[in-house]
C-alpha cells in the first residue's frame, strides 16, 4: 500500500508542476502573441495554438508514459 501512496503523491506533484507551468505560459501568452502579431499574424496564431495544444500534449504524453511504465512492473 505504501507504494501506491508514493505513486499517488508523485502523480499529484507532477500534475501540479505541469499545471503551474502551463498556467504561467497562459498568463504570459497574450503579451507574447500580441508582440509576435506585430510581425506576423499567422505566426502569432500558430504560437497561440501551440501553447494551448501543449497543455493537452503534455498530459497525453504523461498518460502514455504511465501506461507503459505500469506494464513493465
Contact 22, 58 (CB under 8 A): yes
pLDDT in tens, 53-64: 988 898 888 888
Q: Is the pLDDT at 1 greater than 80, yes or no?
A: no
Contact 23, 55 (CB under 8 A): no
Q: For the range 59-64, what are the long-range contacts, defined as Cβ-Cβ under 8 Å and sequence gap of 24 or more?
A: 59/18, 62/14, 62/18
**pLDDT score for 8:** 79
Amino acid at each position: 500500500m505504501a507504494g501506491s501512496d508514493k505513486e499517488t503523491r508523485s502523480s499529484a506533484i507532477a500534475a501540479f508542476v505541469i499545471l503551474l507551468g502551463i498556467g504561467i505560459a497562459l498568463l504570459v501568452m497574450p503579451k507574447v502573441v500580441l508582440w509576435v502579431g506585430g510581425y506576423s499574424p499567422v505566426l502569432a496564431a500558430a504560437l497561440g495554438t501551440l501553447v494551448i495544444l501543449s497543455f493537452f500534449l503534455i498530459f497525453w504524453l504523461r498518460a502514455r508514459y504511465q501506461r507503459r511504465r505500469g506494464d513493465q512492473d
